[in-house]
Structure 1
């Protein structure tokens, strides 16, 4: 349209420019008409802190709303101008123009925002696609979503990225391989909405990438786009380039620091103290009962029919051994014979049966409690509980799978997802993954496609895949119905699969090109459920301390026995220690003399002293005999001469 004073072609300017042109002319026209009525539109100084209003502003707004069509010299480039009561533009159209050919392709108006009205027939649009293919430039629509398509980072400020160089990822590399095989060029167009393509029953239209194909804004569409029956009714798909299924993404249980003394957890501290106190108290009681029980005083020498003394074997040491052996389920080699001691021991055995079995049952529960708490292993586990919420990508094929499923389990899950408050559906896979990571107490699980799930858990070590696939499907490249080059694309995909190129691309973008470090490989679930040393390390410590204490007691007993030997055998302590130690270290000997074998050096050193003692004793006896002879009457007067 030619505006007076301005040569403005609506097919050669941007939409923003045309709208700005009409807005300025509309405002100028309203100011002029308002001034003609005699009302002042003189600007007035106002303070932002006051509540004063500029009165002409309301008049200008009223004049703008009053215009409903192009009249009175008001020229517009975007169709007749009119507004509703809220001041919103109505009854206008925007034309989609193909810039390189100046052809009007389609028309859009706000009354039906989801629909783009094409001004060309289906046949003309197919011819246009064929023309683009013959010219070697194919438009590929996609969405940003790692690892399929990502925005490439600039290595430096001078490194300007344009066209396809702005993006990288699995989809980009796959299309590049196809283009090389088919000898064509391609141009990636990224859809900002991030929608893959879902059918809205209210507007009866498709959105996302499927909409791009239907409107012929793109010849191909690629991302993690699942081949579904609904989508195949409106677009064609290539041979699946990746097989996958729906899986459950869930956060791992927080790894608690292993408690080496977890074997003490089944009983409280008070119960442990009560049990130990009762053990000591019953030992003392059993000791006194055994002393007053006549049956426990026995003849130490059974051969004597009428012994002068009786013996009681139940000293404090044996009483402690009996009660300890009972609670350890080991028994004792001696047992009481009296009625009263047996009754006391029987009640103690009954007590130990209850306590030990309760301890074992509670210990098993404590060791498995961490793995069983808030744990899910399959979709059935999710469906039969209400504590853990679960959801899907909003508008994705996974959501459609549950919505359209006839299987009772999945129907129950869909009902639970629909009724959940707040909503369990997320606008992107990244949002769903973040919700799983951040939800308190692991109360959210995200149902997503296994390929994307596998990509996420490669670097997010706190996440895991639960159970097996719920279904089996594939990713494909979307294209218009009856696309003439579909067979060529399928053949190229099959060649790439046979050559292993697609698997190589998956390894590249799932593992090799990851900026975050990959998670270490974990052991199998069967090994993960086994107890490790840190879970029962306290038992080993108790064993080690007990054995060490026994060794110390054994050494003390050995040294005390050496002292007794040295006194009994009249030898030095070091000599007795040497004899006993050499015997203890000789593991071949299994029998021991009642009296130790004293070395010859010790015997020879002891012989002179014994002879000297014998002579002294004999000399004393002779002198005593001489004195007796002198005192006896009538004895001989001869005296014996002493020995020279």
Structure 2
């Protein structure tokens, strides 16, 4: 009967290519409403095919735009068959970020995809999935994904099928905010057919979920063909010839005219604006962006090749929707035990207390949700490694065992690769916890400390030099030679001159001046007085300086500080140092580019026994018990807390790095923005500082070591002065006994008695305490038989019965 146009087929792409070739040969319009391979550039405009389905390259650009909106680190692209892989080819080749993992749905006649989906969840640990499959498989995949825990607010599904609107998602609509399903729709909702249609004025809104894209595209194709046919009939009648594949005769100019009118005339169809290219391809179209909400799939935006993705809701509206979905829910929070952040407390409803618990309580109060806490296995904070996978809290989050993690948890690059972090709620850095420097015990001769050893030597040298100089100048100066005074011996020669500044008196004068005590002997000449005056100036300054420095020196004990920085730690091996064995502090030294820190890490790794500890509390206890042989590397905020409660410890040096604490959330968590806004609100209200003061400040702070108590001095401070005094007394006693023995020996020889008898007599008189006068000992009378050897006994020892006065020697 002849054919004016051929429609389809809709299933087999191979058959479609065959029909397309026949229509081209017979010059018959070929109408399609399904996807097909891109048209090679070698094909010309004489081709008689008009395809109303969007071109795969343009659809891929829509997929890429939506994937980039995820800001995902990695995605999984799952396809049903090879056609799906071809449809996604442009997206796979154009995407640079994120990392793409390809996987094909298993060809299971029972359609059991649960093992496959579980592998995606556990092995790849991917939270964003792009799935290309038939619309009738979408509900099956979602149900099985829900059974293995893939359907939650932390997993996002994007389906490439343009028939997503035909899938019944009623069981998932009640989980508002907890199911992330997105996709595209080509059909226009609420569209009314134009007046020249057979179905004039019909409203298609009521049966939208029953309309497939291909059927509506066929409707638009036939409508476009009808319009072109009527336009062509205005120029003359059109006869449809009977055509055969056995002959080369085609429809001629009528077929070419109709297909040309279809390509040149845009129209508004059920799938929106229809504008075909010269190759019969639909490369200018608009897609609705669909997301699953409480009322089902909702249009949240649109995509076009010119404008990209445009959402109809603002970022604030989306955040408000997420916050609303959090209201009334109970979130699982994994914690790590560390004072004062998180501590077990049976007196509270949650079983925990601490700064982090209060902070999370403030956030929950503002966003109206509840919290359920549990401790991380082995109390490990953990990290994420591409080779070893996650550990500790990171594993809890990535395996969906917890919604959030809060503790003294540092935001690091390795952790950021596996999970999401909120904005920082505390900034800090690594420092060194060590025993406080111990005051050195006062030394016995600490009173000599105000002056250095060199100064003492110089002062002694000056004392000797001035004394000798004074003696020499006194010998040279005529004014120092004077007549004997009243104390001179009777009968002294008036021409005899006496000089008081002998060597002994010179030393006595200078030492008396140095001790600020003065002397009964004074210089008389100008030269000697000049020496004395400048010596007094010197002693005034030195004694004043000594006195001024003595008080502070004796009251402020010197500190013994073996280490002052990380460099000091690295230079020695006596004091061991370590960190928490599974914390960011250890990884900082391991991954540091600084040679000093890498050397410290190697030292910690090779130390035996190990210098690593299981917790910060264990590290603090080890510092206390080591008595200065162990230093603990930890965050400065923890050190600040410890120092408020333990006055024996101190922080050594400054910060080795800068880091921040944050709340960890599951990768791709929609709640990150809401948590950030809550933290900012708490910070601006001043509650964050109040919480820190509450948990950090101790009730009884440590005394200020910088304050010097100068009210009293102990015997340890001035004991050396007593020792010097005792030593001086002992020397004086020794000299006195030496003089006593020497005098007793002379008297014993003069009186012809034994030394012991003379010493006994002198001691008896000394200890009798009978007045302060003493009789002069005289020699016995000279007997006739005695020789004149008495003359040699010295003055004052002559026999009273013999007169030798004319021959008596002068002293």
* TM-score using structure 2 length: 0.40
Q: Which has the higher contact order (CA 8 A, sep 6+)?
A: 1
* TM-score using structure 1 length: 0.50
Say which one has the larger Rg. 2
